[in-house]
Amino acid sequence: MVATACFLCRGILVFRDCKSPTAQNPCRVSTRYQLNCEMKEVNLHTSREIGLVPPLPQMRRYQSPEVVRVLDRVRRELDYRDGFEEFCWFAREYPRCYRCHLDGADFRLGTMHKSLNSIRQQLAMRAIAANSQTFEIAIGNHLVNRLYWDFESYLSEINIALDLLARVVGPAFQQQSPLSFNNLCKRSEPHMILDLFQSAQRRWVSRLKDYRDCFVHYTPVDTLLQVTMQRCATGWELRAKLPTNPNIREILGFRYSRRIELMRYAIIVHRHMTAFDRVVAKALMKLYRKGAFPVRTEHLFFVGRRSG
């Protein structure tokens, strides 16, 4: 008995007529579908190579951030010791607020990636049909708007997570915990945790907060949001623009560079945040093993509440 099968392999659609598994004859290409398959093969193979979206970094899925796991381990060891009741409550509750916003950031990064892939599919088919004189194709629709809305939410989630992390590490200091990441970085005392925070601020956090403050409090990237497919020496390149100078906080003053692109920047931020979570967790465990964490075990119930 002859059966018609459809195979999708490496972006190439191939139709074949196959004998039953017990037959000895090999698969034969059906002439009835041959012409149609050749056209689909070219379009699918070509479109999948145009303006590729960068792959997502490895996600935690259902695993907690390293800081949460370390503090869970610490509180379980201290749970039955007198004088640590308030700290154990703190070490259970506050890290989970931190985790909530990191999960939100992961979700936003995933929706951004899906939106950009859908946009790329639309632009890739237009690029295939474009003539040799076309150097740029642009699209602006609800998907593009959603991409930038999710990007703003993504920046906000990371920003909130950083502020919460500054409170989570508070028991490593004798003084009252600060309300934000920036306030913790203003301290000048020598401390392992403080060195990590100030290093992260210099390397990537300041730029993230600049973008977040600009887009949330002042202006979007543009009033007519677009994603473009640009022809370059190596082929077509997909770009969702992002200014290089967010501190200008004015659309007409924004400058752009090929080295800065929205999705690539979002992925870089995710990698920075993941690495930062790991080094902070490692530092907390090191301090705990040395008996230097927690140094403050009282007045933790109202951490983060503004006075007055």
Q: Can you give the pLDDT at residue 303?
A: 59
Q: Can you give the pLDDT at residue 103?
A: 97
Structure token digits, residue 152: 């703003």
Same domain, 30 and 114: no
Compute, in degrees rounded to 10, the torsion defined by CA atoms 179, 182, 188, 190.
80
Mean pLDDT (whole number) for 214-231: 95
Same domain, 40 and 53: no
Structure token digits, residue 76: 């379980």
Mean pLDDT (whole number) for 184-202: 96
Q: Residue 24 belongs to what domain range? A: 3-46
Would 266 be classed as within a structural domain? yes
Checking if the pLDDT of 9 tops 90, the result is no
Same domain, 270 and 222: yes
Would 249 be classed as within a structural domain? yes
Q: Can you give the pLDDT at residue 16?
A: 35
Would 84 be classed as within a structural domain? yes
Would 299 be classed as within a structural domain? no
φ, ψ dihedrals at 204, nearest 5°: -150, -25
Same domain, 31 and 176: no
Would 305 be classed as within a structural domain? no
Same domain, 41 and 53: no
Same domain, 11 and 62: no
Would 301 be classed as within a structural domain? no
Contact 263, 112 (CB under 8 A): yes
Same domain, 36 and 54: no
Q: Can you give the pLDDT at residue 27?
A: 44
Count of domains observed in the chain: 2
Q: Can you give the pLDDT at residue 82?
A: 92
Would 103 be classed as within a structural domain? yes
Q: Can you give the pLDDT at residue 5?
A: 35
Of 1, 57, 4, 61, the closest CA to residue 25 belongs to 1
Mean pLDDT (whole number) for 250-273: 96
Would 304 be classed as within a structural domain? no
Reported as a single tens digit per residue, the pLDDT across 13-63 is 233 333 444 444 444 444 444 434 433 444 444 556 688 999 999 988 779
Instruction: Please give the mean pLDDT across all residues of the chain.
Output: 85
Reported as a single tens digit per residue, the pLDDT across 123-144 is 999 999 999 899 999 999 999 9
| SS3 call for 227 | strand
The Cα–Cα gap between 181 and 108 comes to: 22
Same domain, 42 and 106: no
Three-point CA angle 232, 49, 256, nearest 5°: 35
Task: List the beta bridge partners of residue 14.
Answer: 7
Q: Can you give the pLDDT at residue 159?
A: 98
Confidence category of residue 305, pLDDT binned at 50, 70, 90: low
Among residues 31, 46, 61, which one ends one of the domains? 46
Q: What's the pTM?
A: 0.82
Same domain, 76 and 185: yes
Same domain, 264 and 204: yes
Same domain, 121 and 185: yes
Contact 172, 280 (CB under 8 A): no
Q: How many CB atoms lie within 10 A of CB 88?
A: 21
Please write down the long-range contacts of 238-243, taking CB distance under 8 Å and 24 or more positions apart. Answer: 238/51, 238/52, 238/53, 238/116, 238/119, 238/120, 238/123, 240/116, 240/144, 240/147, 240/148, 242/211
Same domain, 85 and 97: yes
